[in-house]
Amino acid sequence: MTWRFNSLPDYAFPRLRALLNGIAPGADEIGLSIGEPQHAFPDFITDILHEHKSEYGKYPPIDGTPALRLAAAAWLERRYHLRADFIDPGRHILPVNGTREGLFMAALALAPEQKDRPLDAAVLIPNPFYQCYAAAALAISAEPIYVPATKETGFLPDYASVAPEILARTSLAYICSPANPQGAVADLTYWTKLLELARTYDFMIIADECYTEIYDRVPPTGILQAVAQDGHLSADDSPLNRVMAFHSLSKRSNAPGLRSGFAVGGRQAIAQFKRLRSYGGAPSPLPVCAAAAAAWSDDTHVTHSRALYREKFDAAEHIFGARLGFYRPGGGFFLWLDVSETGLNGEEAALKLWRQGGIKVLPGAYLSRESESVNPGASYLRLALVHDLATTTEALTRVNQILR
Ligand SMILES: Cc1ncc(COP(=O)(O)O)c(C=O)c1O
């Protein structure tokens, strides 16, 4: 029997382990491959988890707590300068147990049973991309359409350039801004055009905005800001009805182990998502909801963390200058380095960095797929700047020396 997920390669990290297997690191190891924030986890989170520990004895509701939904809505309004009543915390927000599973299950919740089209449904995915989107497309028996997000396209996918016959059978489009891995940021024009395209071709947008708080100079515009321009949110044709956006505490609050995020979207989309999650979703434990409500309500720890990332990008800029295609990403905490000038591809460069310098980085090809015989990540490396400044500076200095 063929397995529905047969076309998924092994996940990026086991592939990296296999690549480096049996090869000794050339120096003490520094891992830049996983995007796991290492800045301090806020103490108040631990305190609140402790204060609420007796609530681990209860089954939590699938929609979290009113306090969490309220804090999420208040943060969205603050972060994106939205009108005070723009988000209805009861109808537009649904907490999720980490956004990875939320992004995956959203496809199941939002996919139409059958589009009135002759061919299978399609799901638009930026290439390279956060790998969960591809699994989600396969889960709903749709064809993943990998749309290049390269230097030439500003590192964001140009969905309007997709052939009209594919757009006509598109039911969902994933988009990530700030993008993992490239750090590109969608501006208001990008979001507005995407919303127009979604309306024209009748598809839903799943916007992964989990890096929106980690930016260099300008806070990234969110899809909700493009929606807010429209003005008639409760109408049936409101653009909010085409959107489900995801936000996470993993990156914002350095709390990847808390497993807490939320979805925000149109009433119907959130209602569908909530209904499906009541059957198959994992609700967030009540102590986690309490800690998450406090985290969304506090911006101080986020400002501090953002400043630490900025220092690391300053160091990177100083080290690389214009080498290896270095650019300062608008958001996120990754470097997306093009190693073509070394004559190596990303895998070869990753192997060399490990063998000679003990630096573990992710070959870009593990985050992208071949489309039209080209893998847009093949000559790239992704480096996560998650460690402290001294460790990061040491690692990047080694990278620069080894790839000379
Ligand atoms: C682009 C992107 N989306 C979603 C996630 C999932 O984050 P979490 O499940 O921790 O909320 C990650 C984590 O690395 C990510 O990089």
Strand partners, 264: 93, 245
**What is the CATH number for 170?**
3.40.640.10
**CA dihedral of residues 207, 213, 216, 222 (deg, nearest 10):** 40
Q: Within a domain: residue 264? A: yes
Which of 256, 281, 298 is the last residue in one of the domains? 298
Query: Is the beta carbon of 181 within 6 A of some atom in ligand 1?
Result: no
Q: Does 396 lie in the same domain as 264?
A: no
Q: Does 256 lie in the same domain as 364?
A: no
Among 210-214, 228-232, 363-367, name the one with the lowest average pLDDT.
228-232
Q: Within a domain: residue 119? A: yes
CB within 8 Å of 175: residues ≥ 6 apart: 126, 156, 157, 159, 186, 194, 205, 206, 207, 208, 223
Q: Does 374 lie in the same domain as 243?
A: no
**Separation between Cα atoms, residue 105 and residue 281, nearest integer Å:** 8
The answer for 245, left when phi > 0, alpha when psi is -120 to 50, beta otherwise, is beta
- pTM for this predicted structure: 0.97
Q: Does 374 lie in the same domain as 352?
A: yes
Q: Does 387 lie in the same domain as 238?
A: no
Task: Give the residue-averaged pLDDT of 318-330.
Answer: 97
Task: Give the residue-averaged pLDDT of 204-228.
Answer: 97
Q: Does 278 lie in the same domain as 387?
A: no
Q: Does 83 lie in the same domain as 24?
A: no
Q: Within a domain: residue 48? A: no
The phi, psi pair for 349, rounded to 5°, reads -65, -40
Number of domains present in the structure of the chain: 2
Query: Is the beta carbon of 180 within 6 A of some atom in ligand 1?
Result: yes
Query: Model confidence at 85, in pLDDT bands (50, 70, 90)?
Result: confident
Q: Does 80 lie in the same domain as 36?
A: no
What is the CA(261)–ligand 1 centre distance, in A? 10
**What is the CATH number for 380?**
3.90.1150.10
Look up the domain containing 347 and give its range: 12-40+301-402
Q: pLDDT digits over 36-45, tens only?
A: 999 998 999 9
Q: Within a domain: residue 255? A: yes
Task: Give the residue-averaged pLDDT of 284-309.
Answer: 98
**Separation between Cα atoms, residue 263 and residue 277, nearest integer Å:** 12
What is the CA(208)–ligand 1 centre distance, in A? 8
The answer for 242, left when phi > 0, alpha when psi is -120 to 50, beta otherwise, is alpha
Q: pLDDT digits over 7-36, tens only?
A: 999 999 999 999 999 999 999 999 999 999
Locate 384 and state its tokens: 């996560």
Q: Mutation test of ligand 1: which of 13, 41, 130 has the most ligand atoms closer than 8 Å to its C-beta?
A: 130
